[in-house]
Structures are given as C-alpha cells and as structure tokens.
Structure 1
Amino acid sequence: MRIDLHTHSAVSDGTDAPAVLVEHAAEAGLDAIALTDHDTFDGVPEAQGAGARVGVVVLGGMEFSTRWDNHSVHLLAYGPRVDDPALSAELTRVREGRDGRVPAMIAKLADLGYPLTSDDVSAQAHGVSVGRPHLADAMVARGYVRDRDEAFARFLDDAGPAFVDRYATPLLEAVGLVKRAGGVAVVAHPWGRGARGVLGE
C-alpha cells in the first residue's frame, strides 16, 4: 500500500483544490492520503468525496501550529472530530493570529521598499488559512522575487526582516485537545522547526 499522510491543499498553503489533490494522488498510484491543511479541516469533506470517486482513502486531519520552549512545532492531528467545540475554538484562535499578522508583515515589506496590499495577498489565498506562503506568492506576482524560496530566504523566514510572530497553541495543550477530540497527534518533520527539543535531543 502506498500512502502519504502529510499533504496540503489550496485551503491552506498547497496549490491544488482538495479534490484535485486527491485526483493527483490517484494518478501517482497512492492508495491513501491524509489531508493535513494548516489549522483547518475545511478541505476534508471535498477531499473525501473525491477519494470515494477515484478510489483513494482520505483520512481527515490537519497540521496544528504549536509552540514548545519558544520554538514553533507543527503537530499532525489525524482523525479528530472536526466539530469538537474545544478544538474548533482553539483553531479559530490560531487562525486569527495567523490572519492578524498579515497587515503587520505587509507594513514591514512596504518599509523595505516592497509594497503589497491585502488584496494582493488575498488573491493568492484560496482558503481560510492565510500564511507567509501567500505573502511570498504575492511578492512573486509583483515581480519582487523569483519564487517562494527567495521570498522566505530574504524576507519572510523567522529571522527575516519582514517576519512577525503570531499566536500558536502550547504543544502539550494541543496534544490534549487532539486526543480529547478522538484523534492521534504526531509531531511533523521531527528533525526541524525546534522539534528536536521535544524529542529529547
């Protein structure tokens, strides 16, 4: 069985609509995937509907923005109840923090000589989870940088001149929320993003 348990659609920072992502998974010979958009389950129903049509099992999930010891750690949440009140409320808080920093980052970019508008960023975001990749795509569209990698390397990375921090759920609290909602929590890309400290290294 061929599986991919960490995928993103255009609902967060991927490039394909959830259904198209699943169709591509089928074309690539995958038997199962998990849709793990950042801080939202919004693409899961569409993805699962497409999976039923093309024969790909789609596990509902998301990638939770959390913090441990002042480091950003992404937590994959597999199979929690998407309507769990406590989890839903916390995800709303995380997304509000994500959205709330966009104007501040736009202002920093303008000060650096790279003006963007909120409409520029919105034009690149097709879902509810707006983030730095959409700012990067807006910079590409304006011709300021060649691609997302350059935008992050020069401006948007955690140490970049246009970076603005945001709220993220404490890691252990996030794990508890996922478990109480009936899901399984797994640290994403465990050898990066500060996760080494979580694993005791």
Structure 2
Amino acid sequence: MTLKVDLHCHTQHSDGSLSCLELIERAVEKGVNILAITDHDTTSAHEEAAKIAKLLPIEILKGVEISTVCDNQELHIVALGVDVNNHDLQLLLKKNRSIRKERSVKILEKLQKSGLEDLTLALKKIVTGTVICRSHLAQLLCSQGIVKDFQRAFKKYLGKKGKAWVAVQWQDVAKVIRTIKNAGGVAILAHPTKYKLSPTRLGLIIDAFVTAGGEAIEIAYPGLSPSDRAMLIRQVEKHDLAVSQGSDFHHPKTSWTELGAFGVNPESFKVVWQHFNIRA
C-alpha cells in the first residue's frame, strides 16, 4: 500500500480557513493516510485533532510551523512529532505569538498613517485563533475593499517595499531547532524555494540549517518547478537529509494547494515520516 501523506497544513487556529474537524474530514475525503497539522506558532489544534482522529481512518502527527531567522533570513521550520506539552517549546511559541501581535499593532499604525482608518476592531473579527499572521492583515485589506487580492495587499502595504512593512527579529534558528529536538521532534525546512533566494544563497542557508541541527527539507509542495526540485534533491544528497512533503493547505478555494496532492517516492528517499510509529 502506498501511503498518501501530507505533512504541512493549517487550520483556523492560525491562518487556515477550516476548523480542525473540517480539515481532517477533507483530508480523509482526499484519501490522505497521514496528516500533520502544522499551524503557525501554535499547537492548540492538537487536543481536538487527537479526539477526531480516533473516529476516522487517518493518522495525525503533531506538528507546528515555527518562524525563525537564519543568517538574517526569515525561515519557516516545520516541527514534527513534538511533545506539545514540552515547557520550553511552549515558551518559544508564546514568544513568537507575542512578536506577531506586536508586529500587527505596528502594521495597523502604519496603515493608519498611510491614510486608512483604524482597522483594529475589524482585524479582531478576522483572527479566529491566538496567532496573528500577515495573511490575516491581507484578508482584512481585501474585506475592506482597500485592495482586490492578497498579491496587491502585499505589494502595496505588507511586503518589504510596502507602506506598512514591519521588520521582525525572530528567535534564532539554532535555538528553535534545539527546542524542537529537545521536545522529541524533527526539524524540517519548509518550502525552501519560496524564500526567493539565489541557488548559492539558498545553499548557504541550508548549510547553516544543517549545522544548527536541521534534519530534513521539504521537496514536494505547491509551485515547485522540476529544476528547483532537482536542486533541492542535490542538497538532500549533499547533507544526507530526510525529505518531507506537504500541501501547505490553507483554504479550499486554492485548488493548487489541495491536501495530499504533493508527494515523493518513499523508495527513493529517506522520508521523514519513517521516524514515527505510523499505524496507517
């Protein structure tokens, strides 16, 4: 039996649009055998997810996507198989959520200074969990009719050249990876080509990620070209890394990020889910 595996997706606990139940039911509908819920900087979905998984033919891995910085580059690290009750992990995630909240306040201030009204109350109606993401702010700008879509929201306001750009100093990658591993998890570099780095720069970042204790990288995800995938496979071979895969699913309307749609041949690679005791 070939397992259908998706190790990167989001719920309403961060910036996904589906509830935990809706997400898991959709995964089952799409034939997913192993699902990792990896909300941004929170593990709050997992208590509910564990209860739901007992009633459905699916294995749920505990996970979280953690924002970090490596050599002045913001990265996302997917932590899989972590003990969600680990004290140090929860302290780290709490700090990241605080950083996110502070950023959102500064962004709202800059939006107001740019000529927009105070959107604080409107944002509170959009955020469904305890994690405030820039995608929530993009959704806010769209819902208010200020921009037509997320791309324009980031280009005009939220991106590095936007009117409301706010730089963030995340916790260092070495600390993040050390905390993940001490919590019993595996540290995976999420969607490496989405940081829009040159191959040389990305190679140096992966070198630093591995030096810090990183054990795997994603090599199957939306928008990855065949040439970029080949480049990532060379990095896997260079560092003897495990590989991971995931849709980075957020919304049902984005059909190009469907659950379970991205995978690798487990016979060709050291796949990260082999680290865990999978019953599927």
**TM-score scaled by length of structure 1:** 0.94
In the TM superposition, 1:29-178 aligns within 5 A as 29-178=31-180
> Is the 8 Å Cα contact of residues 48 and 57 (structure 1) preserved in structure 2?
no
Please state whether the residue corresponding to 1:62 is helix, strand or coil. strand
Aligned counterpart for 1:5 among listed residues 7, 16, 19: 7
Tell me the equivalent position of 2:29: 27
> Residue 268 of structure 2 corresponds to which residue in structure 1?
none
Structure 1 segments (4+ residues) deviating >3 Å: none
Aligned length in residues:
201
TM-score computed with the length of structure 2 as normaliser: 0.68
Deviations 1:102-156 (A, max 9, x none): 1110111112223242211111111111111111111111111122222112211
What is the CA–CA distance in structure 2 between the aligned matches of 1:81 and 1:34, rounded to whole Å?
A: 14
- How far, CA to CA, are the matches of 1:187 and 1:166 in structure 2? 19
In 1, Cα distance between the equivalents of 2:34 and 2:141? 34
Q: Which has the larger radius of gyration?
A: 2
CA distance in 2, matches of 1:59, 1:116: 40
Contact in 1 for aligned 2:99/2:168 (Cα 8 Å): yes
Cα distance in 1 between the residues matched to 2:43 and 2:31? 24
How many Å separate the matches in 1 of 2:42 and 2:98? 12
CA deviations on 1:145-195 (whole Å, 9 max, x unpaired) are 122222112211233221112231101111100001111111101123268
Q: How far off is 1:48 after superposition?
A: 2.5
Q: Secondary structure at the match of 2:105?
A: helix
1:199 paired with 2:210, answer no
Deviation (angstroms), 1:31: 1.1
